[in-house]
């Protein structure tokens, strides 16, 4: 088909009819975290990633696969986040992760599957794709909180002339404010992480990591809302979150590498 033969208005209508994908820690955030982690893999882990996914850089290409299959595999939708109530002291598996349908349980599950060398290759490859994605998601502060607003999805915000919801601002806008080229942002972050930070961040468990994200949401993101479901944010809101965003992305990259290095020996 020759696009020049299609009237411009028809083409525009067709483009507008395609829904914008709802991404989590938008596509760029996932690429940044995967790029960072890949840099820190041991040769053994690198080799296994390459074998399972068909090339080591597939780790970056596949970082958003879990978002792409959400519509086809509805049961996976809840695996991207954990709804820790805003004013709760922290993650409680029995309250927040019924039937294992939350990001903490899924990371634990994918780790176990990946450790099991007797599991079949396709199942292990899928567990690896999920793990690459979910370790990043669990560092997005609004993926670790719920105030009856689905982690800010039901909070309408205006920034200048733009309308969005608060969750989307934290999935995508705060990451894009760091720069629009994932590889360049990842390289900058990798250079900024100190050996002391790397050592400190490598500790902990998925439950401890979501508690960190929850504290950021509770003490840093939600106070500004003051209970509102509709508000105007400052024009430079996304830029002002850069320090937190950088730290959360860097932690996710370091931690993903540690998990893979320990699992794929
Ligand atoms: N849906 C319900 N709660 C959510 C959250 N915290 N993050 C993303 N999607 C959600
Ligand atoms: Zn996700
Ligand atoms: Zn999200």
Cβ of 83 closer than 6 Å to ligand 1, yes or no, is yes
3-state secondary structure of 250: helix
Along the 265 residues of the chain, how does pLDDT read in single tens digits?
444 444 444 444 444 444 444 445 789 999 999 999 999 999 999 999 999 999 999 999 999 999 999 999 999 999 999 999 999 999 999 999 999 999 999 999 999 999 999 999 999 999 999 999 999 999 999 999 999 999 999 999 999 999 999 999 999 999 999 999 999 999 999 999 999 999 999 999 999 999 999 999 999 999 999 999 999 999 999 999 999 999 999 999 999 999 999 999 9
Cβ of 137 closer than 6 Å to ligand 1, yes or no, is no
Q: What integer pLDDT is reported at residue 24 of this predicted model?
A: 59
Q: Do residues 222 and 147 touch, judged by C-beta distance below 8 A? A: yes
Domains of the chain: 9-263 (1.10.575.10)
The whole-angstrom separation of Cα 109 and Cα 223 is 34
Distance 140 CA to ligand 3 centre (A): 7
Q: What integer pLDDT is reported at residue 25 of this predicted model?
A: 76
Cβ of 146 closer than 6 Å to ligand 1, yes or no, is yes
Binning the chain into helix, strand and coil, the percentages to the nearest 5 are: 65, 5, 30
Cβ of 81 closer than 6 Å to ligand 1, yes or no, is yes
Q: What integer pLDDT is reported at residue 23 of this predicted model?
A: 46
Q: What integer pLDDT is reported at residue 16 of this predicted model?
A: 44
Which ligand 1 atom is nearest residue 151's CA? 6
Cβ of 171 closer than 6 Å to ligand 1, yes or no, is no
Which residue's alpha carbon is nearest to atom 3 within ligand 1?
150
Global pTM value? 0.91
Neighbours of 156 (CB within 10 A): 14
Neighbours of 80 (CB within 10 A): 23
Q: What integer pLDDT is reported at residue 26 of this predicted model?
A: 86
**Longest CA pairwise span in the chain (Å):** 61
Q: Do residues 155 and 224 touch, judged by C-beta distance below 8 A? A: no
């Amino acid at each position: 088909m020759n696009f020049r033969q299609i009237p411009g208005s028809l083409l525009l209508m067709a483009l507008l009819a395609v829904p914008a994908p709802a991404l989590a820690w938008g596509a760029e955030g996932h690429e940044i975290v995967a790029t960072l982690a890949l840099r820190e893999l041991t040769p053994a882990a690198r080799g296994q990633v390459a074998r399972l996914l068909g090339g080591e850089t597939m780790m970056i290409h596949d970082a958003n696969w879990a978002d792409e299959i959400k519509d086809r595999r509805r049961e996976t939708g809840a695996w991207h986040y954990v709804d820790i109530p805003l004013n709760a002291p922290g993650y409680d598996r029995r309250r927040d992760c019924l039937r294992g349908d939350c990001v903490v349980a899924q990371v634990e599950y994918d780790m176990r599957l990946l450790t099991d060398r007797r599991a079949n290759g396709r199942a292990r490859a899928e567990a690896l794709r999920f793990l690459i994605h979910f370790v990043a998601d669990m560092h997005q502060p609004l993926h670790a909180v719920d105030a009856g607003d689905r982690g800010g999805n039901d909070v309408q915000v205006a920034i200048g002339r733009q309308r969005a919801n608060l969750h989307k601002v934290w999935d995508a806008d705060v990451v894009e404010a760091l720069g629009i080229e994932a590889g360049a942002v990842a390289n900058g972050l990798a250079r900024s992480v100190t050996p002391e930070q790397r050592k400190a961040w490598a500790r902990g468990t998925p439950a401890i990591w979501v508690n960190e994200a929850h504290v950021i949401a509770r003490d840093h993101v939600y106070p500004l809302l003051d209970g509102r479901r509709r508000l105007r944010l400052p024009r430079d809101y996304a830029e002002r979150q850069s320090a937190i965003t950088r730290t959360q992305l860097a932690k996710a990259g370091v931690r993903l590498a540690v998990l893979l290095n320990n699992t794929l020996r």
